[in-house]
Structure 1
Amino acid sequence: MITRIWHGRTKAEDADQYLIYVQNTGLAEYFSTKGNISAKILRQIEGEICHFLTITEWENMESIIQFAGEDFEKAKYYEEDKKYLLEFEENVNHYETYVAS
């Protein structure tokens, strides 16, 4: 299993709207991609800034490529992200994931 983590920042005042937007774009696409195991959004407001993490789990690298394309280490953005995000981090992080039983 592989975990993919993306980080983004918005103004705190945009946090609720951006959360809904991510649920309707990124999460919807994650869940519709074969090989996606799970997807979560983490949110932390620090003063006037809100940090978002999307944490997705995938069966294998091929399923991530189905979602993100051949350049799978690049962050994938959607049209209205420019309305909310304070910057566009270029890359995401991938981790081999092991579950203790």
Structure 2
Amino acid sequence: MIARIWHGKTKVEDYEVYTEFMIKTAIPDYEKTLGFVKLSFLRNIKNNEGHFTLITYWKNLEVIRNFAGEDFEKAKYYPEDEHFLLEFEEHVEHFEVFA
């Protein structure tokens, strides 16, 4: 199993709205991908910014390519993210889950 980890940040006033967007749009998008296992969606407020960490779990790297494209290490964004995110981190991290 492979864990894919993404981080993003918003203005604190967009914290709840972005959370709702992720629940309604992003999470269903992940869940409909064959080979998706589960996710952990974490958030906190730090230095007056909303921070989001999304950890998704996938069967293997091929499944991630089906979701994210051939350049699977590149972060996947939604058009609506432009309204919320303060910056667009270019890459995500992948880890082999062994326990």
Judge same fold: TM > 0.5, yes or no.
yes
Once residues 74 and 32 of structure 2 are traced to their aligned partners in structure 1, the CA distance between those partners, rounded to angstroms, is 20
Tell me the amino acid that sits aligned with residue 30 of structure 1. Answer: Y
| Cα shift at 1:33 | 0.2
Unaligned runs of 5+ in 2: none
Could you tell which deviates more after superposition, 32-41 or 21-30?
21-30
The residue identity in structure 1 corresponding to 2:15 is A
For residue 47 of structure 1, report the CA deviation from its aligned partner.
3.8
| 1:46 corresponds to | 46
Deviations 1:18-74 (A, max 9, x none): 011111222111100000100121001014201100100000001101110101000
TM-score, normalising length from structure 2?
A: 0.96
In 1, the alpha carbon distance for the partners of 2:18 and 2:74 equals 20
Q: Distance in 1 between matches of 2:85 and 2:9?
A: 6
Q: How far off is 1:13 after superposition?
A: 1.1
Q: Percent identity?
A: 51
Secondary structure at the aligned position of 1:80 is classed as helix
Letter in 1 for 2:16: D
Distance (whole Å) between structure 1 residues aligned to residue 69 and residue 23 of structure 2: 20
Structure 1 stretches of 4+ with a deviation exceeding 2 A read: none
Q: CA RMSD in A?
A: 0.8
User: Paired residues, what number?
Assistant: 99
1:34 counterpart residue number: 34
Contact 1:13 1:48 in 2 (8 A): no
The residue type paired with residue 41 of structure 1 is F
Q: TM-score, normalised by structure 1?
A: 0.94
